[in-house]
Structure 1
Amino acid sequence: MAKSTALVPPNAWETHIHVFEPQKFAFSPDRAYTPATAALNDYPASKTGCTNVVVVQGTVQGEDPAPVLDVLNASPAQGDPPGLRRGLVVLDLDKHTDEDLDKLHAAGVRGIRLHEVSWGFGTQPTDSEFAERLRYAASRLNRLNWVIDVYTHPKTWLALVPTIEALPSSTIIIADHWACLRPGDEEGAECQAILHLLRSKRIFVKLSSTERQSSSPGSIESLEKMAKLFVGAGPDRLLYGSDWPHTALPGPRQGKTREQRLTDVEEFREVNLASHVRSLRDWIQDEKVWQDLWVNTPRRLFE
C-alpha cells in the first residue's frame, strides 16, 4: 500500500493537537498530570499528511489562552506544518467581553473547548449545569461562527439532545474523540443519540484520540463499525484529529498524590498515526467523504 501521506488529499487539516511548552507558560497548579514538552515543529506531519493544524488548549494549561496565542502568532520555524494555524481555547466567558473575543478571532482562534471529563480528578458539572453552559456559550459565540468543542461522556450527549436541538441551527458543536464512544456502544441509546444529531446536522464528530477509544491501544480495528455508522449518518460532518502528542493514559496516575501529579513528568506514548490513516482509508472508500474529512469540512469551520 502507498505511504499514508499519499492517501491524504493536499491541504489537509489536523484538527486536534496540543503544544506544551512549560518553560514559556507554566502549567495550571490545578492540573491532573504533568506532560513532557512538545513544540509545534515536533508534530509528525509526515505521518498524517496534514499541512493545516488546529492547536487545542490542554486541560493542564488552565483558562489562560496565552499558550495557544503564542503558537498562532509565532513566526514559522523549521519543521513547522507549512499551512494555516488555528486555535481552540479554554475560557471563562464571564471574564471576556465581546471585544476580547474579537481580538482572539483576529489572532486565529476559532472556538472554545469544553472539557467535561474529569477522570476522577476534580468535579464534573451535572447534565443540567452543562446544558446551561452550552446555551450561554452559543449565545456569545454564534456571532463569530466559532465552534464549541465538547469532550463529555456519552450519557451526557444523550441528555443534551433536547438542549442542542433547541439552540439556533447556526450553532457549531463538535463532539471530541469519537463522542467518547467505544466499540460495543453501537446499539446503545447514547450512540443512537449521536447518530441522530449527525443526521439532523446539529453536531460534528472528531475522529480523534482514536487509539484511546479503541478496544486496544495497539490496534484501532475495533472502531471500524463505529466509523462506518458515523459516515452513514454524517458523511460531511466528520473531522480528523490525532490528539498528538499522545499523553499518558489516565489509569496509572489514579494512585498518585497531588504533589506527584505536579512533579512527575509523564512521557508521551508512541502511536502509529500512519496506520491510523490507512485504516481510515480502508473504512472510507467514498472519494467525496474522504475529501470532506480532510479538507472541505475543517476548512469551512476553521479557515
Structure 2
Amino acid sequence: MPEYYPFNPDPRAPVEAPPARTCDAQFHVFGDPAVYPPRPEAPFKMPSATIDAALKMHRALGIERGVIVQATTYGADHSVVVDALKKAGPDYRGCANAIALKERDDGYIEELHDAGVRGARFTFRKELGVGLSPREFQRAADRLKELGWYVKIQPEKDGIMGSVELYENLDIPVLIDHLGRADANLGVDDPNVRKTIELLKKGNFWVMLSLGEKISTQGHPWNDVLPIARAYIDAAPDRVVWASDWPHPLSKSPPPNDAELLELLYRYAPDAGERQKILVDNPAKLFGYDD
C-alpha cells in the first residue's frame, strides 16, 4: 500500500452542471522533477499532477476558472505555478507560498504579480517546513497590503486556534482554508468553528468550503460536515468560496472522484442563488475577476 494515494484519473461530470464561470478556489500543480526540482525535504511529490491533468478535471466538471496554489513541495520557487498560469490562460489566478516573501526580493514578487498571483498562503502545518516566525508573518502581511493581495491561511491539523492571534486583527482580506480544519465530531460547537464565524462577522474574512471528505469522521457521504459548512454559509453568504484541493495531497485513502466534491457543495448549498455566490460571484470578488 502506498503512503499516499494519487488523484482519481477519470473525473466524471457532476449530476448537475455548475453555473457559468464557476471557480475552483484552490488546486495545486506539479511537474517533471527535472524541470521543477522539489525541495530536498519536501514531504510529498506528485509529478503526474500536471496543469494538463488539472484542466482535464476542470473541463469534466464544468469549471472555467481556478486558483493555482503553490504547493509546499517547491518552497519559494514558483516556476511551476507561473508556467501553469501561462498555459491555463486569463481565467486562472495564482496564490504564492508566503515563504517567497521571506526568501525572494521585490522584483521576484512583482514577477509573480504580473503572472497573475494575487495572494499568499501561510502554512501553519509545521511538518511541511515552510513556516514563518511571528515577526516574519507580520512583515509579509504588510507587504501583501502594499501589493493588494489577500492572506490565505492553511490551519494546523487541529484547526486555527493555535495560530489565529497572528492574523485575527489584519485589515486586508483573509481566506481561511479547509473549513477552518474543524473537528467534525464537535460540529458547530467546535471552538474552531465558533472562532471562524466570529472572524467572518468582521467583514474581511473569508472561508473555503474544502476538504470536507477528509475532515469527516463518518466517511462517505460525509454528512457530518454539512452543519459546519452550512453555519459558515449562513454567517457570511458573500464570503465563502469552494475548492477541490486537487490533487488531494497527503491522502491516506483513495481520493474521491472530484465530481463528488462539487456535489457535496450542492448539498451544502441546495439553493441555486447560493451556489451562484459561492462558485462565481464571491471568488470573482476575492480573486479579482472583472465580471
Under TM normalisation by the shorter chain, which class is it?
0.7 to 0.9
Q: AA paired with 1:301?
A: L
Decide whether the 8 Å contact of 1:210 with 1:242 is kept in 2: no
Which residue number in structure 1 is paired with residue 16 of structure 2? 6
Q: AA paired with 1:284?
A: A
Which residue number in structure 2 is paired with residue 213 of structure 1? 215
Aligned: 1:167 with 2:174: no
Offset of 1:174 from its aligned partner?
1.0
Offset of 1:184 from its aligned partner?
2.3
Decide whether the 8 Å contact of 1:224 with 1:283 is kept in 2: yes
Which residue number in structure 2 is paired with residue 32 of structure 1? 43
Which residue number in structure 2 is paired with residue 222 of structure 1? 224
Aligned: 1:198 with 2:200: yes
Counterpart-to-counterpart distance in 1, 2:265 and 2:158: 26
Decide whether the 8 Å contact of 2:75 with 2:100 is kept in 1: no
Counterpart-to-counterpart distance in 2, 1:69 and 1:212: 29
Q: Give the match's secondary structure for 1:6.
A: coil
Offset of 1:237 from its aligned partner?
0.9
Aligned: 1:64 with 2:77: yes
For 1:154-303, what aligned pairs fall within 5 Å after superposition?
Answer: 157-158=160-161, 160-161=163-164, 163-168=166-171, 171-185=172-186, 186-249=188-251, 269-302=254-287, 303=289
Counterpart-to-counterpart distance in 1, 2:225 and 2:194: 16
Counterpart-to-counterpart distance in 2, 1:220 and 1:176: 18
For 1:101-180, what aligned pairs fall within 5 Å after superposition?
Answer: 101-119=109-127, 129-130=133-134, 132-153=135-156, 157-158=160-161, 160-161=163-164, 163-168=166-171, 171-180=172-181
Q: AA paired with 1:183?
A: A
Decide whether the 8 Å contact of 2:14 with 2:61 is kept in 1: yes
Identify the range of structure 1 (14-23 vs 46-55) with the bigger mean alpha-carbon deviation: 46-55
Offset of 1:13 from its aligned partner?
0.5
Counterpart-to-counterpart distance in 1, 2:278 and 2:218: 24
Identify the range of structure 1 (64-73 vs 41-50) with the bigger mean alpha-carbon deviation: 41-50
Identify the range of structure 1 (46-55 vs 149-158) with the bigger mean alpha-carbon deviation: 149-158
Q: AA paired with 1:31?
A: A
Unaligned 5+ runs, structure 1? 77-81, 251-267
Counterpart-to-counterpart distance in 1, 2:207 and 2:63: 18
Unaligned 5+ runs, structure 2? 1-12
Could you report, residue by residue, the CA deviation over 1:263-290 in whole angstroms, capped at 9, with x for unpaired residues? xxxxx93412222222321331333321
Could you report, residue by residue, the CA deviation over 1:163-185 in whole angstroms, capped at 9, with x for unpaired residues? 534322xx111111111113123
Q: AA paired with 1:25?
A: Y
Task: Name the Cα RMSD after superposition.
Answer: 2.6
Counterpart-to-counterpart distance in 2, 1:65 and 1:19: 11
Could you report, residue by residue, the CA deviation over 1:139-181 in whole angstroms, capped at 9, with x for unpaired residues? 101122212111123766335555534322xx11111111111
Which residue number in structure 2 is paired with residue 262 of structure 1? none
Which residue number in structure 2 is paired with residue 256 of structure 1? none
Which residue number in structure 1 is paired with residue 9 of structure 2? none
Decide whether the 8 Å contact of 2:153 with 2:175 is kept in 1: yes
Counterpart-to-counterpart distance in 1, 2:164 and 2:29: 32
Q: AA paired with 1:26?
A: P
Q: Give the match's secondary structure for 2:49.
A: coil
Could you report, residue by residue, the CA deviation over 1:209-260 in whole angstroms, capped at 9, with x for unpaired residues? 221111145432221110111111111111111111123436xxxxxxxxxx
Structure 1 residues 201, 100: closer, same or farther in 2, change over 3 A?
A: same
Could you report, residue by residue, the CA deviation over 1:182-204 in whole angstroms, capped at 9, with x for unpaired residues? 31232132221111001222321
Percentage of matched positions with identical amino acids: 25
Structure 1 residues 93, 296: closer, same or farther in 2, change over 3 A?
A: same
Q: Give the match's secondary structure for 1:211.
A: helix
Q: AA paired with 1:15?
A: A
Decide whether the 8 Å contact of 1:9 with 1:294 is kept in 2: yes
Which residue number in structure 2 is paired with residue 88 of structure 1? 95
Counterpart-to-counterpart distance in 2, 1:122 and 1:141: 21
Greater Cα radius of gyration, structure 1 or 2:
1
Aligned pair count reads: 271
Q: AA paired with 1:60?
A: T
